[in-house]
Amino acid sequence: MKLLRYGQTGAERPGILDRDGAIRDLSGVIRDIDGSALTPQRLRELQGLKVETLPLVQGAPRLGPCVARPGKFLCIGLNYADHAAETGAAIPSEPIIFMKATSALSGPNDAVIQPRGSTKLDWEVELAFVIGTECRYVDEAAGAAAIAGYFVCNDVSERAFQLERGGQWDKGKGCDSFGPIGPWLVTADEVGDVSNLGMWLEVNGRRYQDGSTRTMIFKPAFLVSYLSQFMSLQPGDIVTTGTPPGVGLGQKPPVYLKVGDEMRLGIQGLGEQRQKVIAYG
């Protein structure tokens, strides 16, 4: 299934794509695409629906973040061997964990807002997933089973905030609009081999990132198991898993986003995003 949320910011409704790629309204079945809708039982119920009988959504509405109200927005840093190499960093022996603010979430085609004082705004196409089963101290098999679905995330980053302002990475990761997710959530049963998905990102038509999840160091099932050793994971929690090479920081010389730039990015089987950079205010 491909689940999504559509409508104006703050008033999104749940939807599902039919076989023809049209949006069908799910608001008569579930309240929203959130943790309560992503448990194994609820997903089985949704899979049993006759999608073609649901109300057809007309036009091309705005798409919102494909998961509503996550309790946590967890991120894994330097999780691609070739990206670690381009930044000059050693390959981590254990996953690097940081968090984005949940207020950073935005729709897949919403504008990216350059925050005040920003000088090094950057991009990162990433494979993200959402938890569907509560996890504490689980092994990898249970970790894999706990993943409800996968989607595209642009881990927008302000490198000066992240690396030059003291403290941890969160300062450069959690600004408003720094977490576009979607366009839709693809349930785990339909994704196939998550360790072999092509992924790419372009800025103003130039392709900077052209990688694959093949070079991911720590795979999703392991990440769920690992994270669950340090915190419980609840249905609706989002984890984004790192980026392949080609970020602006890694260019020689570095290239950073400016107002008016347009990003286009996608992952094989998970759809595409588009964002234009605008100034704060």
CATH code, domain with 124:
3.90.850.10
Name the residue range of residue 251's domain: 65-279
Give residue 204's pLDDT band: very low, low, confident or very high (50, 70, 90).
very high
Give residue 185's pLDDT band: very low, low, confident or very high (50, 70, 90).
very high
Q: Is-contact 73 99, C-beta < 8 A?
A: yes
Average pLDDT score over residue span 12-29 = 97
Average pLDDT, the chain: 96
β-strands 147-154, 185-187: how paired?
A: antiparallel
Q: Tally Cβ neighbours within 10 Å of residue 59.
A: 6
Share of the chain above pLDDT 90, in %: 93
Is residue 25 in some structural domain? no
Is residue 2 in some structural domain? no
pLDDT (0 to 100) of residue 240:
98
Is residue 77 in some structural domain? yes
Q: How many domains would you assign to the chain?
A: 1
pLDDT (0 to 100) of residue 90:
83
Task: Check pLDDT > 80 for residue 242.
Answer: yes
pLDDT (0 to 100) of residue 253:
96
Is residue 39 in some structural domain? no
Is residue 51 in some structural domain? no
- Which of 262, 235, 219, 31 lies closest to 130, judged by CA? 235
Residue spans of beta strands (DSSP E) within 185-261: 185-187, 198-203, 206-212, 238-240
Give residue 82's pLDDT band: very low, low, confident or very high (50, 70, 90).
confident
The residue type of 272 is E
Is residue 19 in some structural domain? no
Share of the chain above pLDDT 70, in %: 100
Is residue 27 in some structural domain? no
Give residue 87's pLDDT band: very low, low, confident or very high (50, 70, 90).
confident
Average pLDDT score over residue span 98-103 = 97
pLDDT (0 to 100) of residue 30:
97
Q: What is the pLDDT of residues 245-280, one digit of tens each?
A: 999 999 999 999 999 999 999 999 999 999 999 999
pLDDT (0 to 100) of residue 83:
80
Average pLDDT score over residue span 45-55 = 97
Is residue 87 in some structural domain? yes
